[in-house]
Structure 1
Amino acid sequence: MPVKEFKLPDVGEGVAEGELVTWLVAPGDRVEEDQPVAEVETDKALVEVPSSYDGTVEELFVEEGDIVPVGDVIISFRVGEDGEGGEATAEADADSAEADADATESAADADTESASEPGTEPEPETPSGRTFAPPSARRLARELGVDIAAVDGSGPGDRISEADVRAHAEGGDGGSDTADSGSDEAPAPTPTDVGSGGRKSAVKKRGDDGATGSAATTAPAPDAPEPAGRETTLATPATRKVARELGVEVDDVPTDETRDGEAFVTGEAVRAYAEALESGESPEPEATEATEAPEAPEAPEAPEAAVVDADASAPEPGSVDASSSAGSTDETVPYRGVRRTIGKQMERSKFTAPHVTHHDTAEVDALVEAREELKPRAEEEGVKLTYMPFVMKAIVAGLKEYPSLNSELREDDEEIVLKGDYNLGVAVATDAGLMVPVVESVDEKGLFELAAEVRDLASRARERKLKPAEMKGGTFSITNFGAIGGEYATPIINYPETAILGLGAIEERPVARDGEVVAAPTLPLSLSIDHRVIDGAVAAEFANTVIEHLEHPLLLLSH
């Protein structure tokens, strides 16, 4: 059968290269046209790369973590000639089934003796042939330690769903990984019509040494620590790579560190957990500033815990993982992907637009009360109501009155474009860097609708499931550093926009009322503007309008 080589396509608009994060297939797997075979991270998003062929995976030419230029060969497939590939594959499967039957017959006695010994169980057989499963099911299988090929599919054509994977795992069959996915004694590949052209394969071909190149998982020691078993864990791509190399699930690694309310795991924690598995000793979670610091007094919620400062381009301590040279404590972190894009965007903005930042504070007693009154109604509709929708509506009121803040300066054309749409970008911190999904037509949506959309976009941003189009078309941005802690900042404009509003934490602070100092909930605001387009006086008037609508939330009903 001929071999077809598959090149990395242009997975985005003008993307020149991408990092191959995860292979979704292995040599010997049957794939269908349009079935995702890999996840690739570009400077814009994490995307799935679909196959262009029906066939069997022959060879992988790229390792996970490699940067691949668009147009380079990443994988090859064995496909049928003139549409007869299916018949040829069927014959091969039949021959393989016969060989497996003979092998099973000859080893029956040995299996019986082994099964009768105390403490031993026969390993489950892995079905041969096609395995039809969407990427979400394959990803879940990897997280649960389930061999996807051993799962019985309930969908059309035995397609495997996430429910099938969970049922298999709960049934006790998914507790251990199959060490060799190629142990079906598949025949060595036949000579191909198209060779690799001297390219080095990242993974062995199907049939080489009877393996497909997947790593075997080391059995844990008798006194191995209990896995954490979280459903969601944040970690950098480098940390996930270390976990794959050590055969560790990041969801099982103990940690006290968090990011945006989710557990965050570092490379050191992964290594410590792997060593503990081998030794049988329970590892202690890494101590962090967050765990050592005394608990802060309870305060009102920040506008949206999902979002952070838009100029947070530097990685936080402990959030990166890299190999240290002998005798040195320095770490090196690849500057690429989303992180490099953030850096270039911030550099362009800061060195192109002269920034001026205006600070002010809103006294939001009425806003806090309004949200508390609306929360039960929102919960009835399945919506978690934060302060962010109120802020977004107040911003739209200000933009309508002062349209120069909802604009773009086109230097080449020597013109300022006042945008007619009100599309607000909301900065979201992810384990891969900062992303700014855009909520379109904010002026046409209600508070509950905005709350649900912001929550959905933030969640998918963290899971790297945003589409590139969902991060374009913004006319004004919001960044909420108060979700982490802080009052004022100097946020960098999301160029080519001309303004960005930073939100501090809503907390009780001393304010003067009727000659007395009292405690009241306040919201600090930091407004950065492009001084080429917006005057300082206009920025102050815009901030006053936003504050007026936050302090008197009934005014938002008029928008």
Structure 2
Amino acid sequence: MTIHVIKMPDIGEGIAEVELVVWRVTLGERVVEDQVLADVMTDKATVEIPSPVVGRVVALGCEPGQVLAVGGELIRLEVEEAEHADSTLTALPPTTVTPVPVAAPSQEAPAAKLIVPAQGSGPVQAIRQATSPPTASPAVRRRAHQLGIELQNVPASGTDGRITHEDLDAYVARGSSLPAASADGSRYAERHGEEALPVIGLRRKIAQKMQDAKRRIPHFTYVEECDVTEIEALRAHLNTRWAGERGRLTLLPLLMRAMVLALRRYPQCNARFDDDAGVVTRYGAVHIGIATQTAAGLMVPVVHHAEARDPWSNAAEISRLAEAARAGRAVRAELSGSTITITSLGALGGLVSTPVINHPEVAIVGVNRIIERPVMRDNTVVARKMMNLSSSFDHRVVDGLDAAEFVQSLRAYLESPATLFVE
């Protein structure tokens, strides 16, 4: 038996340190070659770290939420020499596996430490970390859902930290499931549970970015109402005619086209402000960030060079990027470089919002929900599809008049959609 030390690899682009998001393995677990050991995060991109060898986990180099320098010790595996005879291994006696200091983390995280099993305790038993995803069969998961039980809270007794039906029975027997009916037979029983959730990984990055944006940028929000009846009719017509060949259009690709045209007159809104250097950079290219909700949190993939795309190309790129972000496959280049951002909650968009600017950009356009309601037109009350645009601007570099005129320009394009296709 020998010990193979896996260090945090250099994943390029000048990255000096990463944050450990979650372990995919537990102490004592046997891993195979190319099995994912952990997820780490750099900026907003999540990277999977695979195992180069076959072995058994004997030590974890840090805990989720901690920052690890490139080259720092990530994990130790005990391997059979026959399984990995050609690899360079760090030979240590099996009984002397001791913690080895890793590279100093940033001040945001506590000092890293190796997580090792107790010496002389016989066979290693798998320990599920508090922030690791629970392991259970589909039947156990289905039963837990029916009982209203969060699997993360259930102690596991199965192999490699797997939760069994017996674990669910024991959890229910301890009274840890949903509150039982009160004495009078009603369900209005008191609840006293608490759940502490560590803010790590993408959630930490989001929190830091939002805090930085609000601390640095004096936001100015401007809301305008738009009549989108005509552009919705055009969208329906285009989908009927071209959906089979070119794909379906939502409102966003058409709004992106309106932004491209409006930004030609208001380039101060298509910019990034380096407030440390005191420099505003205006861009000819229009790289539009699309705020996208994922299971892990909010991400902003970027449609690069929207000015060179037609609505169908924009729609296809939005769909591709959203799928990549939600599946955790988006790469760094797809999550950076935006010059202005769109945020939309679709049908949940509400009447008005106050979107937070994606620092260091200077503008963000928020799309609220479409409502059909009575409107006066030519002295007649008619039903029209109405929508608000809620947009925020960096008031240090974008004057209120310029912001208002930019939004009014967007409104004009959306209310007269034929102008979107006239240069």
CA contact (8 A) 1:354 1:531 kept: yes
User: What TM-score do you get using the length of structure 2 for normalisation?
Assistant: 0.75
1-structure distance, mates of 2:94, 2:269? 61
For residue 97 of structure 2, what is the aligned residue in structure 1? 196
2-structure distance, mates of 1:510, 1:431? 38
Moved more, 470-479 or 244-253: 244-253
- Aligned to 1:429, what secondary structure does the other structure show? strand
Moved more, 521-530 or 545-554: 545-554
CA contact (8 A) 1:254 1:269 kept: no
2-structure distance, mates of 1:407, 1:48? 33
- Of residues 135, 138, 157, the one that matches 1:244 is 135
Matched, 1:37 2:37: yes
CA contact (8 A) 1:28 1:212 kept: no
For residue 106 of structure 1, what is the aligned residue in structure 2? none
1-structure distance, mates of 2:57, 2:32? 10
2-structure distance, mates of 1:498, 1:383? 32
User: What TM-score do you get using the length of structure 1 for normalisation?
Assistant: 0.58
Shift of 1:551: 1.5
Q: Deviations over 1:323-378 (max 9, x none)?
A: xxxx8444322122222222221222222221111110111111111111122445
2-structure distance, mates of 1:401, 1:20? 46
Matched, 1:493 2:394: no
Shift of 1:533: 1.1
For residue 471 of structure 1, what is the aligned residue in structure 2? 335
Q: How does 1:96-175 map to 2 (within 5 A)?
A: none
Shift of 1:429: 1.4
For residue 47 of structure 1, what is the aligned residue in structure 2? 47
2-structure distance, mates of 1:351, 1:370? 41
Matched, 1:76 2:89: no
Identity of counterpart residues, as a percentage? 32
2-structure distance, mates of 1:442, 1:194? 60
1-structure distance, mates of 2:337, 2:115? 39
Taking structure 1 as reference, are residues 361 and 270 closer, same or farther at Cα in structure 2, changes over 3 Å only? farther
- Aligned to 2:135, what secondary structure does the other structure show? helix
2-structure distance, mates of 1:465, 1:528? 30
CA contact (8 A) 2:21 2:38 kept: no
Shift of 1:548: 1.5
CA contact (8 A) 1:499 1:530 kept: yes
Taking structure 1 as reference, are residues 514 and 269 closer, same or farther at Cα in structure 2, changes over 3 Å only? farther
Bigger strand share: 2
Number of aligned residues: 378
Moved more, 507-516 or 397-406: 507-516
Matched, 1:342 2:212: no
Shift of 1:443: 1.0
Taking structure 1 as reference, are residues 250 and 357 closer, same or farther at Cα in structure 2, changes over 3 Å only? farther
Moved more, 20-29 or 536-545: 20-29
Taking structure 1 as reference, are residues 194 and 331 closer, same or farther at Cα in structure 2, changes over 3 Å only? closer
Q: Deviations over 1:168-213 (max 9, x none)?
A: xxxxxxxxxxxxxxxxxxxxxx9649953246875769xx966773
Partner letter of residue 150 of structure 2? G
Superposition RMSD on alpha carbons, in Å?
4.1
CA contact (8 A) 2:267 2:282 kept: yes
- Aligned to 1:395, what secondary structure does the other structure show? helix
Taking structure 1 as reference, are residues 558 and 330 closer, same or farther at Cα in structure 2, changes over 3 Å only? same
For residue 508 of structure 1, what is the aligned residue in structure 2? 372
Partner letter of residue 196 of structure 1? V
Q: How does 1:272-291 map to 2 (within 5 A)?
A: 278=169
2-structure distance, mates of 1:269, 1:25? 17
Matched, 1:366 2:230: yes
CA contact (8 A) 1:2 1:194 kept: no
CA contact (8 A) 2:344 2:368 kept: yes
Taking structure 1 as reference, are residues 275 and 62 closer, same or farther at Cα in structure 2, changes over 3 Å only? farther
- Of residues 424, 428, 439, the one that matches 2:288 is 424
For residue 96 of structure 1, what is the aligned residue in structure 2? none
2-structure distance, mates of 1:383, 1:540? 33
Q: Deviations over 1:515-545 (max 9, x none)?
A: 2332211121011111111111111111121
- Of residues 261, 272, 279, the one that matches 1:415 is 279
For residue 543 of structure 1, what is the aligned residue in structure 2? 407
For residue 162 of structure 1, what is the aligned residue in structure 2? none
Q: Deviations over 1:461-499 (max 9, x none)?
A: 222222122111000001113432401111111111000
For residue 150 of structure 2, what is the aligned residue in structure 1? 267
For residue 3 of structure 2, what is the aligned residue in structure 1? 3
CA contact (8 A) 1:203 1:213 kept: no
- Aligned to 1:23, what secondary structure does the other structure show? coil
Taking structure 1 as reference, are residues 66 and 540 closer, same or farther at Cα in structure 2, changes over 3 Å only? closer
Shift of 1:386: 1.3
For residue 25 of structure 2, what is the aligned residue in structure 1? 23
1-structure distance, mates of 2:74, 2:138? 24
Shift of 1:45: 2.8
Q: Deviations over 1:113-138 (max 9, x none)?
A: xxxxxxxxxxxxxxxxxxxxxxxxxx
2-structure distance, mates of 1:542, 1:45? 32
1-structure distance, mates of 2:289, 2:395? 20
Q: How does 1:295-314 map to 2 (within 5 A)?
A: none
1-structure distance, mates of 2:141, 2:409? 47
Matched, 1:355 2:256: no
For residue 483 of structure 1, what is the aligned residue in structure 2? 347
CA contact (8 A) 2:27 2:58 kept: no
Taking structure 1 as reference, are residues 196 and 519 closer, same or farther at Cα in structure 2, changes over 3 Å only? same
